[in-house]
Amino acid sequence: MRLDVVPNGEPPNLRTPGRTALVRRGLALNWMTIAYNVVEAVVAIGAGVTAGSVALLGFGLDSVIEVTASGAAQWRLRADFELERRARVERTTHRIIGWSFLALALYVVVDGAKALLSREPPERSVVGLVLLALSAIVMPVLARAKRRVAREMSSRALDAEATQTSLCAYLSVIALAGVALNAAFGWWWADPVAALAMVPIIAREGVEGVRGEAHCDDECC
Protein backbone atom coordinates (compact mmCIF):
# COMPACT_ATOMS: atom_id res chain seq x y z
CA MET A 1 0.00 0.00 0.00
CA ARG A 2 1.33 3.44 -0.89
CA LEU A 3 2.18 5.68 2.05
CA ASP A 4 0.09 8.54 0.67
CA VAL A 5 -3.12 6.46 0.37
CA VAL A 6 -5.13 4.99 3.25
CA PRO A 7 -8.49 3.19 3.26
CA ASN A 8 -10.47 6.20 4.49
CA GLY A 9 -8.94 8.46 1.84
CA GLU A 10 -7.07 10.64 4.36
CA PRO A 11 -3.31 11.20 4.25
CA PRO A 12 -1.36 9.10 6.77
CA ASN A 13 0.39 10.50 9.81
CA LEU A 14 4.06 10.22 8.87
CA ARG A 15 5.37 12.01 11.96
CA THR A 16 5.91 8.89 14.04
CA PRO A 17 8.49 9.12 16.87
CA GLY A 18 10.84 6.73 15.09
CA ARG A 19 10.64 8.56 11.76
CA THR A 20 11.08 11.94 13.44
CA ALA A 21 14.18 10.68 15.26
CA LEU A 22 15.67 9.44 11.97
CA VAL A 23 15.03 12.79 10.29
CA ARG A 24 16.71 14.63 13.17
CA ARG A 25 19.69 12.29 13.08
CA GLY A 26 19.99 12.76 9.32
CA LEU A 27 19.83 16.54 9.66
CA ALA A 28 22.52 16.51 12.36
CA LEU A 29 24.83 14.35 10.24
CA ASN A 30 24.33 16.62 7.26
CA TRP A 31 25.10 19.73 9.31
CA MET A 32 28.35 18.05 10.41
CA THR A 33 29.13 17.20 6.78
CA ILE A 34 28.43 20.75 5.63
CA ALA A 35 30.58 22.27 8.41
CA TYR A 36 33.50 19.97 7.67
CA ASN A 37 33.28 20.44 3.92
CA VAL A 38 33.20 24.24 4.20
CA VAL A 39 36.46 24.13 6.17
CA GLU A 40 37.81 21.48 3.80
CA ALA A 41 36.99 23.60 0.73
CA VAL A 42 38.59 26.76 2.13
CA VAL A 43 41.77 24.97 3.22
CA ALA A 44 42.11 22.81 0.08
CA ILE A 45 41.53 25.66 -2.36
CA GLY A 46 43.85 27.95 -0.40
CA ALA A 47 46.58 25.30 -0.22
CA GLY A 48 46.02 24.40 -3.88
CA VAL A 49 46.41 28.01 -5.05
CA THR A 50 49.49 28.53 -2.86
CA ALA A 51 51.18 25.29 -3.94
CA GLY A 52 49.91 25.30 -7.53
CA SER A 53 48.35 21.88 -6.98
CA VAL A 54 45.68 20.82 -9.45
CA ALA A 55 44.73 17.85 -7.27
CA LEU A 56 44.18 20.03 -4.20
CA LEU A 57 42.19 22.57 -6.21
CA GLY A 58 40.02 19.82 -7.65
CA PHE A 59 39.53 18.34 -4.19
CA GLY A 60 38.54 21.74 -2.80
CA LEU A 61 35.99 22.25 -5.57
CA ASP A 62 34.66 18.74 -4.93
CA SER A 63 34.12 19.82 -1.32
CA VAL A 64 31.97 22.70 -2.59
CA ILE A 65 29.94 20.16 -4.59
CA GLU A 66 29.57 18.01 -1.48
CA VAL A 67 28.22 21.02 0.42
CA THR A 68 25.62 21.39 -2.34
CA ALA A 69 24.75 17.69 -2.07
CA SER A 70 24.42 17.90 1.71
CA GLY A 71 22.26 20.99 1.33
CA ALA A 72 20.03 19.05 -1.04
CA ALA A 73 19.82 16.24 1.53
CA GLN A 74 18.78 18.81 4.13
CA TRP A 75 16.01 19.94 1.78
CA ARG A 76 14.99 16.32 1.22
CA LEU A 77 14.90 15.51 4.95
CA ARG A 78 12.84 18.60 5.76
CA ALA A 79 10.34 17.53 3.10
CA ASP A 80 10.13 13.98 4.45
CA PHE A 81 6.59 14.28 5.76
CA GLU A 82 5.21 15.75 2.51
CA LEU A 83 5.34 12.97 -0.08
CA GLU A 84 4.52 15.05 -3.17
CA ARG A 85 7.03 17.77 -2.27
CA ARG A 86 9.65 15.14 -1.42
CA ALA A 87 9.58 13.66 -4.92
CA ARG A 88 9.79 17.09 -6.57
CA VAL A 89 12.73 18.15 -4.37
CA GLU A 90 14.70 15.00 -5.19
CA ARG A 91 14.30 15.30 -8.96
CA THR A 92 15.32 18.96 -9.06
CA THR A 93 18.27 18.84 -6.68
CA HIS A 94 19.73 15.70 -8.20
CA ARG A 95 19.89 17.31 -11.64
CA ILE A 96 21.48 20.47 -10.20
CA ILE A 97 24.14 18.40 -8.44
CA GLY A 98 24.68 16.39 -11.64
CA TRP A 99 25.45 19.49 -13.70
CA SER A 100 27.78 20.74 -10.95
CA PHE A 101 29.74 17.49 -11.06
CA LEU A 102 30.05 17.71 -14.85
CA ALA A 103 31.36 21.27 -14.54
CA LEU A 104 33.92 20.09 -12.00
CA ALA A 105 35.02 17.24 -14.28
CA LEU A 106 35.55 19.71 -17.14
CA TYR A 107 37.60 22.01 -14.91
CA VAL A 108 39.87 19.18 -13.75
CA VAL A 109 40.43 17.98 -17.34
CA VAL A 110 41.40 21.45 -18.58
CA ASP A 111 43.59 22.36 -15.61
CA GLY A 112 45.21 18.92 -15.40
CA ALA A 113 46.04 18.90 -19.11
CA LYS A 114 47.47 22.42 -18.81
CA ALA A 115 49.71 21.35 -15.91
CA LEU A 116 51.01 18.34 -17.85
CA LEU A 117 51.72 20.36 -20.98
CA SER A 118 53.46 23.20 -19.12
CA ARG A 119 55.46 20.73 -16.98
CA GLU A 120 55.29 23.09 -14.00
CA PRO A 121 55.79 21.17 -10.73
CA PRO A 122 53.58 22.17 -7.78
CA GLU A 123 55.19 23.24 -4.52
CA ARG A 124 55.02 20.85 -1.58
CA SER A 125 52.02 21.42 0.65
CA VAL A 126 52.16 20.03 4.19
CA VAL A 127 48.76 21.58 4.91
CA GLY A 128 47.31 19.79 1.89
CA LEU A 129 48.74 16.45 2.97
CA VAL A 130 47.31 16.79 6.48
CA LEU A 131 43.90 17.84 5.16
CA LEU A 132 43.68 14.97 2.68
CA ALA A 133 44.73 12.41 5.30
CA LEU A 134 42.12 13.77 7.74
CA SER A 135 39.39 13.66 5.09
CA ALA A 136 40.25 10.05 4.28
CA ILE A 137 39.38 9.25 7.91
CA VAL A 138 36.44 11.59 8.61
CA MET A 139 34.42 11.16 5.40
CA PRO A 140 33.98 7.35 5.59
CA VAL A 141 32.71 7.66 9.18
CA LEU A 142 30.10 10.24 8.17
CA ALA A 143 29.16 8.25 5.07
CA ARG A 144 28.51 5.07 7.05
CA ALA A 145 26.37 6.89 9.60
CA LYS A 146 24.32 8.61 6.87
CA ARG A 147 23.89 5.37 4.96
CA ARG A 148 22.42 3.70 8.06
CA VAL A 149 19.87 6.52 8.36
CA ALA A 150 19.05 6.27 4.64
CA ARG A 151 18.43 2.55 4.83
CA GLU A 152 16.30 2.80 7.96
CA MET A 153 14.23 5.42 6.14
CA SER A 154 14.17 3.29 2.95
CA SER A 155 15.37 6.35 1.01
CA ARG A 156 17.44 5.85 -2.13
CA ALA A 157 17.92 9.62 -2.33
CA LEU A 158 19.66 9.84 1.03
CA ASP A 159 21.64 6.70 0.24
CA ALA A 160 22.91 8.39 -2.94
CA GLU A 161 23.98 11.43 -0.92
CA ALA A 162 25.84 9.14 1.48
CA THR A 163 27.57 7.64 -1.54
CA GLN A 164 28.70 11.13 -2.55
CA THR A 165 30.26 11.51 0.90
CA SER A 166 32.07 8.19 0.31
CA LEU A 167 33.22 9.58 -3.04
CA CYS A 168 34.78 12.52 -1.19
CA ALA A 169 36.83 10.05 0.86
CA TYR A 170 37.87 8.17 -2.28
CA LEU A 171 38.94 11.38 -4.00
CA SER A 172 40.95 12.39 -0.94
CA VAL A 173 42.95 9.15 -1.18
CA ILE A 174 43.63 9.73 -4.91
CA ALA A 175 44.67 13.34 -4.32
CA LEU A 176 46.77 12.31 -1.29
CA ALA A 177 48.69 9.84 -3.43
CA GLY A 178 49.48 12.50 -6.03
CA VAL A 179 50.55 15.16 -3.55
CA ALA A 180 52.56 12.67 -1.44
CA LEU A 181 54.43 11.30 -4.45
CA ASN A 182 55.38 14.82 -5.51
CA ALA A 183 56.48 15.73 -1.98
CA ALA A 184 58.49 12.53 -1.46
CA PHE A 185 60.03 11.90 -4.88
CA GLY A 186 59.52 15.10 -6.84
CA TRP A 187 57.22 13.37 -9.33
CA TRP A 188 55.59 16.58 -10.55
CA TRP A 189 53.39 14.69 -13.02
CA ALA A 190 51.78 12.62 -10.22
CA ASP A 191 49.70 15.58 -9.08
CA PRO A 192 47.87 16.33 -12.37
CA VAL A 193 47.62 12.60 -13.14
CA ALA A 194 45.98 12.05 -9.75
CA ALA A 195 43.61 14.93 -10.49
CA LEU A 196 42.72 13.48 -13.90
CA ALA A 197 42.11 10.09 -12.27
CA MET A 198 39.19 11.73 -10.46
CA VAL A 199 37.43 12.63 -13.71
CA PRO A 200 35.71 9.30 -14.54
CA ILE A 201 34.28 9.09 -11.01
CA ILE A 202 33.09 12.70 -11.00
CA ALA A 203 31.68 12.49 -14.53
CA ARG A 204 29.78 9.28 -13.78
CA GLU A 205 28.11 10.93 -10.79
CA GLY A 206 27.27 13.93 -12.96
CA VAL A 207 25.72 11.90 -15.77
CA GLU A 208 23.62 9.90 -13.30
CA GLY A 209 22.49 13.13 -11.68
CA VAL A 210 21.48 14.82 -14.94
CA ARG A 211 19.59 11.70 -16.00
CA GLY A 212 17.96 11.53 -12.59
CA GLU A 213 19.15 7.96 -12.01
CA ALA A 214 19.15 6.21 -8.63
CA HIS A 215 18.26 9.33 -6.69
CA CYS A 216 14.68 8.91 -5.63
CA ASP A 217 13.18 7.01 -2.76
CA ASP A 218 10.88 4.03 -3.00
CA GLU A 219 7.76 6.16 -3.05
CA CYS A 220 8.70 8.09 -6.18
CA CYS A 221 10.49 5.45 -8.23
Tens digit of each residue's pLDDT, the chain (221 residues):
334 444 444 444 556 777 788 889 999 999 999 999 999 999 988 888 887 777 778 788 888 888 888 888 888 888 777 767 767 777 777 787 778 888 888 888 888 888 888 776 666 778 888 888 899 999 999 999 999 998 888 777 788 788 888 888 887 888 778 777 877 888 888 878 888 888 898 888 888 878 866 544 444 43
Residue 22 in domain: yes
Q: How many domains does the chain have?
A: 1
Looking at residue 15, its pLDDT comes to 66
Residue 8 in domain: no
Residue 4 in domain: no
Long-range CB contacts (< 8 A, 24+ apart) of 80-87?
80/14, 80/19, 80/23, 80/153, 81/14, 81/15, 81/19, 83/3, 83/4, 83/14, 83/219, 84/4, 86/217, 86/219, 86/220, 87/216, 87/219, 87/220
Distance CA 45, CA 53 (A): 9
CA distances (Å), origin 180, targets 55, 91, 135: 11, 39, 15
Looking at residue 174, its pLDDT comes to 80
Q: Which residues constitute the domain of residue 74?
A: 17-211
Residue 54 in domain: yes
The CATH number assigned to the domain holding 105 equals 1.20.1510
If one counts every other C-beta atom within 10 angstroms of the C-beta of residue 12, the result is 14
Residue 45 in domain: yes
Residue 6 in domain: no
Residue 219 in domain: no
Residue 138 in domain: yes
**Please, what is the end-to-end C-alpha distance for the chain in angstroms?**
14
Which pTM was predicted? 0.74
Helix (H) or strand (E) holding 92: helix 83-118
